[in-house]
Structure 1
Amino acid sequence: MAAALPETECFSFRTHEMRWGGCRPVTSEAWDRAKPVDLAVAARQLGRTLGGRVVAVARRCSHRQPQVLVTYPLVHGAGRGGGPGRCCGSGCDCDSGAERDSGRDLAPSLAPFPTVFWLTCPHVRTAVSSLESHGMIEEMRRRIREDEVFAEEYGEANRRYAAQRGGLLDVADRARLQMGRQVDGQVDGRMDGPGADLLRVISESGVGGIADWAGVRCLHMNVADYMAGNANPVGELCVWRLAEDGTGLECADGRCVPARVAAINAGSNSAKALVADVVERPGRGFGLGSRCRSRTSQGRSSGFGRWLVFRVASGVRITGLGRGLEQTGRLSEDGRAKTVEALDMFAAMARELGATRIWATATAAARRAVELGDDGGVRALK
């Protein structure tokens, strides 16, 4: 069993905005804020809804998509079916459940999340699964037993990992776990309650939740730890082995990049444009009639059926296309000119932002103009 960490090695992480306190920050300055579209991409990469709480993106590929996420150590609501589950979905034993047994008496709604650094990149996940299927977990365990220097480096990696994991706990959760047992209705201040057990699991377990720092549970977790910028000899050796086989740490085709599209509408009083990234939901069973709305950092994001839509940019230009239409039966020349100018401007904006497909529509004023016989005025909008 790993020894308890000295007090001077503990970290405190406040408000989940990458502000570390304590003795020495690790690699948090290189972490990136996880945007709603990142979470949608990561869920699609994994093929299922994300469990737990994502704190940051530790590494992105050259296509700017998440490869490694930073996760919060605790899962809230685990007792209601929201437990962490398997983090890599491969043949390793990262979902053995040993950690989740600790602290169960404290609150069935709390469970430790199985990893700090979560490998989501499907290209790397598949490659690492191949290493596992060829026996590299046992090879690493043997290397730790036989190579003293390697074992020392791996022990240091686990010590640092445990400090990072414990440091991610917020003040409220740490206080909750430090609360002693209830004895005759009073709080017993001794740190021997189930909350303390769970806190020790979080603060003393190594990569993948291992209690024995000479063990290896999951290569995916070690590779994720290494790709997040940490010194991890097991993860590093896995990456070297992949490189020897000609496998890099990212794909060539950018398969995870969301489709970027644009929609432009010429309305009666204004022209509007939306440029958005579109991500397919994980799983199936979403009919075309299904619709949901969810908040993003840039206003609101809509989801239609199996697709989630995230705003990149939008614009509105007053044009007055329908002004005077009922009186004259025609679209005004000034309104048409302003509308065409706005459509050209929005199309240029969409192309500059990388939209691969642009839809343009004209609505109420154009329809009414056709009804009144001004087909030529509508065709001029094209």
Structure 2
Amino acid sequence: MPAPYATGPTVVDRDLETLREQLGRVPRGVVGIAARCVCGRPLVVTTAPRLDDGSPFPTTFYLTCPPAVQAVSTLEAGGLMKEWTARLAQEPELAAAYRRAHEHYLAQREALGRVEEIDGISAGGMPTRVKCLHVLVGHSLAAGPGVNPLGDEALALVRPTWRPDRCSC
């Protein structure tokens, strides 16, 4: 199933201005908008695997929408990463699905270019641990439901405070 909010790689000047506002800094390495808010503003950006300064950047899908970032930060503050990392060791089906999410992430980044320093390294702790829920949610929003199981779970958990089908910009 395609991602319901994904819109393709087109980035316009208005997007870069919005990203600067959302991030509070000049955005780096933006090569596409992986998902948009229903109002059209960037929700998740696609970043180059190597930034303009030459440094490798493994985070292909970067969650930028401040209300979404805040909602996910609240989950992180609750300690879910440790709990979900333990689940990966106890639930073989979840671990296998998470490994597939890791492989999908790598393939998406590889399509943008190969960077040896980060070869085989995805983001968010994949495939063996949960390090950053923002990355997992960004991946879920960019790829669509069913690709990243923990990103999908995190999206379900933030639904009472933030939803991708309602503008909160």
Under TM normalisation by the shorter chain, which class is it?
0.7 to 0.9
Change (3 A) 1:202 1:235: same
**Deviation of 1:248 (Å):** 3.0
Structure-1 residue corresponding to 2:131: 217
* TM-score normalised by structure 2 residue count: 0.87
Q: Summarize the alignment of residues 252-291 of structure 1 with structure 2, pairs less than 5 Å apart.
A: 254-255=168-169
Deviation at 1:215, TM superposition (A): 1.5
Alignment partner of 1:75: what SS? coil
- Aligned twin of 1:64: 40
After the TM superposition, list the runs of 4 or more consecutive aligned residues in structure 1 that deviate by more than 6 angstroms: none
2:72 is equivalent to residue 156 of structure 1? no
What does residue range 89-238 of structure 1 map to in structure 2 within 5 Å? 110-169=54-113, 199=116, 201-208=117-124, 210=125, 213-230=127-144, 231-238=147-154
1:334 maps to what in 2? none
Contact 1:154/1:233 (CA < 8 Å) preserved in 2?
yes
Q: Post-superposition shift, 1:112?
A: 1.1
Task: State the identity as a percent.
Answer: 32
Are 2:7 and 2:36, in contact at CA under 8 Å, matched by a contact in 1?
no
Report the equivalent of 2:8: 31
- Once residues 151 and 82 of structure 2 are traced to their aligned partners in structure 1, the CA distance between those partners, rounded to angstroms, is 14
- Structure 1 stretches of 5 or more lacking a match? 1-25, 78-109, 175-197, 256-382
Residues 204-226 of structure 1, C-alpha deviations (whole Å, 9 max, x = no match): 11223x4x621122100010000
Shift of 1:253: 6.3
Counterpart residue number, 2:20: 43
Larger relative contact order (C-alpha < 8 A, sep ≥ 6)?
2
Q: 1:116 to 1:253 in 2, by over 3 A?
A: closer
> How big is each residue's C-alpha offset from its partner over 1:313-350, in whole Å with a ceiling of 9 and x where there is no partner?
xxxxxxxxxxxxxxxxxxxxxxxxxxxxxxxxxxxxxx
Mapped to 1, the partners of 2:167 and 2:153 lie a distance apart of 25
Partners of 1:50 and 1:30 in 2: CA distance: 19
Per-residue deviation, 1:203: 3.3
What is the deviation of 1:37? 0.9
Question: Following the alignment from structure 1 to structure 2, what is the Cα–Cα distance between the partners of residues 143 and 224?
Answer: 21
CA RMSD of the aligned region, Å?
Answer: 2.2
Deviations 1:240-274 (A, max 9, x none): 1112xx1232496653xxxxxxxxxxxxxxxxxxx
CA distance in 1 between counterparts of 2:165 and 2:156 reads 17
The gaps in structure 2 that reach 5 residues or longer are none
Query: What is the distance in 2 between the residues matched to 1:203 and 1:114?
Result: 9
Q: Secondary structure at the match of 2:45?
A: strand
Aligned to 1:100: none
Deviation at 1:55, TM superposition (A): 1.0
Structure 1-normalised TM-score? 0.40
Match for 1:242 among 129, 150, 158?
158
Distance of 1:228 and 1:252 partners within structure 2: 16
Letter aligned with residue 43 of structure 1: R
Kindly tell me: are residues 161 and 253 of structure 1, through their superposed partners in 2, closer, same or farther at Cα, counting changes over 3 Å? closer
Alpha-carbon distance in 2 for matches of 1:119, 1:149: 26
Q: For residues 135-155 of structure 1, what are the alpha-carbon distances to aligned partners after superposition, in whole Å with 9 as ceiling and x for unaligned?
A: 011111011111110000000
Q: Matched residue pairs, number?
A: 164
Structure number having the greater strand percentage:
1
Amino acid aligned to 2:154: C
